[in-house]
Copies of this chain bind each other. A is one copy, B any other.
Amino acid sequence: MHAVIMAGGRGTRFWPASRYERPKQLLQVVGQKTLLQLTVDRIRPLVPAERILVVTGKDLLPEVSRQLPEIPSGNLLGEPEGRNTAPCIGWAALWIQERAGDDVMAVLPSDHFIEDDTAFLGVLEAAAAFAALGPHLVTLAIRPSRPETGFGYIELGPPAATSHDQTVYSVAGFHEKPDRETAERFLREGTHYWNSGMFLWKTSTILEAIERHLPELARGLRDMHRAILAGDLHRAEAVFLGLEPISIDYGVMEKADSIYAFAGRMGWSDVGSWSAIYDINPKDAFGNVVEADLVEIDTRGCLVISPNKLVATIGLRDIIVVETADALLVCARERAQEVRDIVGKLKAKGKTSVL
């Protein structure tokens, strides 16, 4: 089994800590390791380093390489620009097929957090075994814990099989981000799970699915792969840049047959905002998460991050404070999603030096 870690994201919701050249997956958001490092560590009991592949932005390769010294440098693929997940996954599948022939590949985002590694590995092992059995497109679905409107949902159909004592569900459908009312209904009914963006399949299975549902992408990927094998990296890059950006969900999963899901809870978080970082970290006695030299009076439910500067707080409730060398964010915790709008405003004002 191979693992493909997708590490090309450029999120804006972790400003000012995240920057275009230092996206979320490269940040320490829980403890001393970055989300990318945690993702690699999590999979290592099942997949040795030489079978872990990381796809990231070409400009991020030096930092990715620095954070993952155990991964052979040949396993780090640099995209000249992001083209969403389908081109990324297709390229990785070709790479694995070239090196190792047909094999199961687990596709994992690099910027999510999973609390219960054991549960995760159990599901992953079962899913890998099932993916190996046939032309199955397998997705990991997360049992929802709240009526979240920020995720896509997978509607589970009837159980189709079992694998390693885990139920394999057929998939009745995919749903875009729902409105609040629909999300509450999903939570009540219990048949709609969060789409985690984690997939398992054989390389032959996904490449055939891309061939069928995204034939132009398949052609482009073959071109690019040939150019790489021929050592013509200039041409390979040009072909990649010409690929249509499309997600694997929209381009393949929502159209294909033989889609199956494994369901789990495993303490998964997409780490979508500073508020999620507050949620997934352990709290002190006052419900604060503090990565700073903090002196406080009556401060509750706050996230305070300031690597270099002493911080004093008085009478704060549920406030996020993030301080970096050139910028400071102070934000109501429940409004952390709007950090993305701050980044929009900064762009509009031409303040590129802090982006």
| Interface check A234, CB cutoff 8 A | no
| Interface check A346, CB cutoff 8 A | yes
Q: Type the 1/0 row for A320-355, where 1 means its CB is closer than 8 Å to any CB of B.
A: 010100111111101110110110011001010010
Q: With the chains together, A15 CA to B327 CA distance in Å?
A: 20
B-contacting residues, A286-313, CB 8 Å: 295, 297-298, 306, 309-313
B349–A328 touching, CB < 8 Å: no
With A334-B315, A338-B315 as known contacts, state yes or no: A310 contacts B297, CB within 8 Å: no
Q: With the chains together, A316 CA to B313 CA distance in Å?
A: 14
A315–B328 touching, CB < 8 Å: no
Q: With the chains together, A111 CA to B86 CA distance in Å?
A: 65
Question: In the complex, which residue of chain B has the Cβ closest to the Cβ of A320?
Answer: B314
| Interface check A319, CB cutoff 8 A | yes
Q: Which interface residue of A298, A332, A345 has the most chain B CB atoms within 10 A?
A: A332
Task: For A313, list chain B residues within 8 Å (CB).
Answer: 329-331
Q: Type the 1/0 row for A208-243, where 1 means its CB is closer than 8 Å to any CB of B.
A: 000000000000000000000000000000000000
Q: Min CB distance, A329 to chain B, in Å?
A: 5
How many monomers of this protein are in the complex?
2
Question: In the complex, which residue of chain B has the Cβ closest to the Cβ of A328?
Answer: B311
Task: For A331, list chain B residues within 8 Å (CB).
Answer: 312-316
| Interface check A87, CB cutoff 8 A | no
Task: For A351, list chain B residues within 8 Å (CB).
Answer: 295, 310
Interface residues contributed by chain A, number (CB under 8 Å): 36
| Interface check A16, CB cutoff 8 A | yes
Q: Which interface residue of A295, A298, A346 has the most chain B CB atoms within 10 A?
A: A295
Q: With the chains together, A349 CA to B293 CA distance in Å?
A: 11
Q: Which interface residue of A313, A321, A330 has the most chain B CB atoms within 10 A?
A: A330
Task: For A346, list chain B residues within 8 Å (CB).
Answer: 295, 310, 312
B-contacting residues, A166-185, CB 8 Å: none
Q: List 30 A-B contacts (CB under 8 A).
A: A16-B310, A295-B346, A297-B338, A297-B342, A306-B328, A310-B327, A310-B346, A310-B354, A311-B327, A311-B330, A312-B327, A312-B330, A312-B331, A312-B339, A314-B329, A314-B330, A314-B332, A314-B336, A314-B338, A314-B342, A315-B332, A315-B335, A316-B319, A316-B330, A316-B331, A319-B319, A321-B330, A323-B323, A323-B328, A330-B330
Given A16-B312, A309-B326, A314-B332, 11 additional A-B pairs, CB 8 A: A15-B312, A295-B342, A298-B335, A310-B346, A310-B351, A312-B328, A312-B339, A314-B336, A319-B319, A321-B328, A321-B330
